[in-house]
A and B are shown apart, each in its own frame.
Chain A
């Protein structure tokens, strides 16, 4: 099937969604997605950030679609023409969607551990307005403890359902879900501290915001002060691939995450042993530094040479004299 997105034609198989067709083309024309996750079946259709305009339905029926459609849930038709960033209507609608998502978001980015790699932050930066028009109290929830490894911040949740699909499809039983409905819906477990499945840590990676974060990394450091390094290990768990990104601060691994692709999706899921228990360099085979986009805040202040060249050439006489002076001054 031939589909044209923002003027770029591509041949795709029947049943492909517009979003996936756009991802095959790549570049700026890929609609952003907050709830769709290509590795999770049934995800998508919740957040409405991927709205696009279909200007020509198909070759047989060339009428445009009357409303903007969610590109993650709409399959392509032969001869379909889609407008994403070339349509001012889509840009305007996306701005509205971002505002809607941020209505109940607490905007506590300075506190949040996800800041710097948060999709909602990026989306708000690219599409949102600088000021909020909302004047009422944001929703609040009673804090619940869902386990010793994962921290839940319900106020930050955008109800994308990704973690629910992850628990359904990656782990063997799901014990958390969305309770209540409408404005009151919340991610929760009925029994506190209940999330203990071996693959439960993946909900941290799939969460597009900071609602589910790593408790072992909580407030340890900001993402942009750490250095991501690709590594792997032979994991005993057959379902775990063992390929991860280690986040270094100095010589210490302070966080382990799955490797994420350009759309922020985990390439392969990892088990909780790899994620939470293996935090020594000796546990891993280091592959090399992770490539970070120069637009990302994570790439700031990272230099190519790990050890800067000495300003003064090593001179043993001078070093000895400096040491003596330093000791004398400390005594004083």
Chain B
């Protein structure tokens, strides 16, 4: 049948000559390419030991921030959970008691704050939604693990370390 586009090309396969059929020269030239790469800088890195520098707007693991006095900024307003397209965030609020003013910034705080890292798509909408500048995705790559339940990160993993430590 005639081609519609007239772009069809007839390919011809030339028969191999003697040197090509001899097999060894091709092996040697292939090994030569491999050997050449021994003396070049490798393109990959040994990841857990070596780490590449992240770009400035890299979004990694979340961290819950503290203010300049070391009090937790999060007030459990729920806007991060509302904006989360993957519904990865849950929280429970509690009222700040007397004497806890240095621990929590507002009169309400997140008693439980959990992010399911398997659900999270690292879009950064929680960061954008936060009215208290409490959550930032400025951490590392979330490490791998064996069990699904270990990917639900609570406040123990998310909250920034206190200032004087």
Binding site for B on A (CB under 8 A): 108-111, 115, 218-222, 224-225, 297, 300-301, 329-330, 332
Contacts and interface: CB of A to CB of B under 8 A. Distances in A.
14 contacts: A110-B106, A110-B132, A111-B75, A115-B77, A218-B95, A219-B93, A219-B108, A221-B93, A222-B77, A222-B78, A300-B82, A301-B87, A330-B147, A332-B146
A329 B149 CA distance: 10
Nearest to A219: B93
A110 B79 contact: yes
Interface string B106-139: 1110000000000000000000000110000000
A318 to B, nearest CB: 17
B78 A225 contact: yes
B81 interface: yes
* 9 closest Cβ pairs, A-B complex: A110-B77, A222-B78, A219-B93, A111-B108, A110-B75, A219-B108, A110-B131, A111-B106, A219-B95
Interface in B69-109: 75-79, 81-82, 87, 93-95, 106-108
Contacts of B75: 110-111
A224 B108 contact: no
B120 to A, nearest CB: 16
Contacts, number: 40
Contact of B82 (A111, A224, A329, A332): A224
Contacts of A225: 78, 81-82
Given A109-B77, A220-B93, A225-B78, 12 more contacts: A110-B75, A110-B106, A110-B132, A111-B106, A111-B107, A115-B77, A218-B95, A221-B93, A222-B77, A225-B82, A300-B82, A301-B87
Contact of A219 (B94, B131, B132): B94
B32 to A, nearest CB: 49
Interface string B24-45: 0000000000000000000000
A220 B108 CA distance: 11
Contacts of A301: 82, 87
B77 A297 contact: no
Contacts of B131: 109-110
Contacts of A297: 82
A280 B83 CA distance: 30
Interface of B: 75-79, 81-82, 87, 93-95, 106-108, 131-132, 146-147
B146 A329 contact: yes
Nearest to B87: A301
A111 B87 contact: no
A313 to B, nearest CB: 21
Nearest to A329: B147
A128 to B, nearest CB: 16
Nearest to A113: B108
A332 B150 CA distance: 13
A136 B79 CA distance: 28
A224 B93 contact: no
A153 to B, nearest CB: 10
A112 to B, nearest CB: 9
A329 B106 CA distance: 40
Most chain A Cβ neighbours within 10 Å, of B94, B95, B108, B147: B108
Nearest to B79: A110
A265 B111 CA distance: 34
A151 B132 CA distance: 24
Contacts of B106: 108, 110-111
B148 to A, nearest CB: 9
A137 B95 CA distance: 25
A219 B106 CA distance: 12
Contacts of B95: 218-219
A241 to B, nearest CB: 32
A221 B110 CA distance: 11
A55 B76 CA distance: 48
A277 B119 CA distance: 38
Contacts of B78: 221-222, 224-225
A104 B108 CA distance: 21
A109 B108 CA distance: 11
Contacts of B147: 329-330
A107 to B, nearest CB: 9
Contacts of A109: 77, 131
A108 B75 CA distance: 10
Contacts of A111: 75, 77, 106-108
